[in-house]
Structure 1
Amino acid sequence: MSVHHQCCGDHQFDQRSHCCCFDSEPLSPEPLNASCCASSGSNHLGIAPTSPKCMSGKQPCGLGACFNPTTERCCVNPTSLQGQSYSHDQTCCEGTLRHTPYLYNGASCGSQVYNPDSKICCAGKLSNRVLGKNLCCGTTPYGVEDRGVLCCNQTLHCEVEDGYQCSPGGHLYLPSRDMVCGTRVHLNDPDKHCCGEETYYPWNEICCNGHKHRGNKSCCGVKAYDPSCDQMKCCAGTLYDLQFQDRLSEEAQCCGSVLMEAGSTQTCCSAPGLDLLYPTQPGFTCCGHRYPNSSLWSCCAGVLHPRPEPHNTTKNVIPGPRLLPLGDLKTEVLCQSKVLVGTVESVSVKMNERSIVMVNTMYMQASRGHVSAMASPHYLTLPDHCSSPELVLGNTYIWVKNNYSDTISFISDLSDHSSPLHSILSRCSK
C-alpha cells in the first residue's frame, strides 16, 4: 500500500503506526501502543525481535534502547523505529512519543526532541516560543488574540480587517460584500444565487446539478431541455434526442437511464433504485427487478416465491398498477386523467388489500387546470397487494386513476424530481 508497509503473516502493516507481533497465532499487525510492540518493537522486515534486556526499573524504547518511565521520555523514529530516551522535560517532535506500555499523553510530533518551554512544534517545524503564540497555522505559530490574523486552510493571513472570514476553499471573503459558491468567492449580487461554483439569475436561468442554462426549461442531469418537446426524452438524468433515434416521443420508453428499443423486443423490470432490461419472452413476467418464468414462480409485491408445481399462466389475471417513469406516461393519460400526488408515510396489508397513508397529497386534472389539496393524511387502498409494486416510505409518487373505474392504473416515483408539479404541468402546458 505504501513504501512504509511490510508483510506480517498474511497481512501488511504500516511500520510507522503498527508492529508485527509473534504473540498471536496467526501473525497479525498490532498498533504501536500494544503491549507486545512496547515490549519488543518491530524492525523493517515486520519481525518482532526479542525485547532488549533492560535494567530493573527501565522499559524497552523502540529497538535496542531502554528508558525509565518515571524520569525519562522515549522517542521512536517512525522510519527506523530506533528509540532514544531523553529527560522528562523534553518532548518528541514528528515521531512517536512512547510511555510504555501505552502512548504518552502529550505532544506527538516526531523524532526530533525539543523543550516545549522554549520551542513550539508546528507541522514538523520548530520555532522559538513567543508568549501568547500557542496555536499553529501550517508551520507558523500564532496566538488566538493576535489582531488582524486569520488562519485559512493552514495559511496564515496577516493585517486582516475585521469581519473577514474563511471560505471552504481557503480564501478570505467579507460576507457583507462577497458570496461564496463552493470554493469560489464572488461579489455579492442580491439577484444572483449559487449554481455550483458559479452564480446565476434564477428568474431567467436554470441550475442543473451545478451547470447553468438560460430559459424556462427543466433539468435532465446537467443538461436543460423543454419537456413539452416531442423530440427530447429524459431517462433518469440522461437526455436523448429522438431525431437521431428515429423514434417518436410516445413510442420511446426508458428503463432507468437507458432508452429502450422500439417494439416489444425488450421488457423493463423495476424495483426501488434498480431498473433492468430483459429480452421479452412469452410466459415471463416482471417481479420487481427480476424477470422469472411465471409458471415456475409466483410474485407478491416484488418478492419471488417458487411454485410447488408448474402453474397454468394462461388464465385471465387482472394486472395491478404498473410502476412507470413519469416520462413514460403518455401525455393524454397524464394530462386528462385524475391524478394524485402524495408522499407515502405508511403501508399496511389486511388480507390481500394494501392500505396506504399519504401526506402532502394533491388532486389534479392538468388538462382542466384543476389542482387542490387533499385532507392530510390521505388514505388510499389498492385491492390486490401482491400485484402492486413495492413502495418506499418517504418517497413521493404520482397515482394515475382510471377515469372509468376510479382504480389506480399507473404509479410513478417522483423522488428524483426536484419539482414534481413543474414536471407534470410542463408536460401538459401545450
Structure 2
Amino acid sequence: MEERIYFIVLIIFSRFRVITGGRGAYTHMKYCDSKLYNPRYQTCCDGAITVPGGGWPCCKTKVYNPENAVCCGGKIRYKKGASCCKDEAYNPEYETCCDEKIYPVKDGNCCGEKIYDPRTEKCCDGSINDKVESFYQCCSDKAYNPLHKTCCSGKLYSERGLECCGHKIYNPLYESCCSGNLYSQRGIHCCGDTTYSPSYGTCCSGKLYPHSGLQCCGESSYSPLHQTCCSGKLYSIAGLECKSCGGESYSPLHETCCSGKLYSERGIECCGDRVYSILHQTCCNGIVSEPSGLSCCGTQSYDSSTQSCCNGKLSYSLCSTGMQPRRHYREMLSRFSPLLIF
C-alpha cells in the first residue's frame, strides 16, 4: 500500500514538473520512439513513457524500485531481497527454487523440480534415491553400493570383481581390456593401442620397449643396474643419490644447485646467491672476484704473497706492530704513490 502511494505521489509530482515547465523540465529531452520525454522525471520503457525517472529499471512498460521489488516474467513482484523463480518471486534467505517450484527451505538441494536431503538421499539423473550412504554412487537413475555392485553403461551387476571395458562388463581374472577391447588372455597389459606381456616388454608413456626388467624415466626406459633416473633425467651411473633443487631432483655429481636453480657446467660452485667458476674466480663471503686461488679478507680477495689481512683489513706490512713492508714492496708503492712516506 505504501509503495503504491509513493508511486502516485511521484507521478503527480513528475507530471506537474513537466506540464508546468518547472526548472529544467525541457532540458536534455530525449525521444521514446517518436515521443519526447524528460529523463530527469520520466523513463522510457519498451516504447512507453512512464514515471519516475532517475535510472530505475523497467519491467516491460513500467518502472520499479529494485530495493524492494523484482521483475519476474514481465511482472513486478514487491518482495524485498527477492530473486525470480520463473514468473514468481522468492527470498533465497529462507526459500529454495527448484525448476520453477518454490520450497520453504533455505539452501535446499534440488533434484529436478524436487528438493531432497543429501544426508539420507541421493539424486541420480533427476530421481531421488532414499536410504543411501555418503559413498553411494549413481548408475543411471539408481544409487548403488560400489562395494557390492558394478555399474557399466547404466546397468548394475551384482557379481563382485567385475570391471567395465568400454560398454562391456568383464572379469579381470579371466580377461584383459585394452582401449575398450577385450582379450581372453589373462595378464595382458596395455601400451597405447598395443597389448603386451610385462614378462617380455616394458611400456613407458605409450611406447613399448621389447625388454623386461626395465624401468621408466619419462618417456624412456632404462636399466637400474647401469643407470639412475632423477626427475626424468638419466645418468649413466647406477645408484646415484638424487637431491632436490627448487622442487626438481638432480644428481650432485653432475649438477650444482644454487638458490633453487640448477647448473650443469663443471667446476661451478655457489658463492652466496650466485655461482662462480672455481677454476677462474675466487669467492669471498658472497663476493666473486678474479682470478682463482686468492685468499680472503672479509669480502675482499688478495694475494697472500704480497699482502696481509690484519683484523679484517688489507695491509702490505706484516700484522705485528711496527713492522714495515718489504723493501721491494716499498719501492713498488713509492713508484705508484710518490707521496707515501715510510
- State TM-score, norm by structure 2: 0.39
Q: Which has the larger radius of gyration?
A: 2
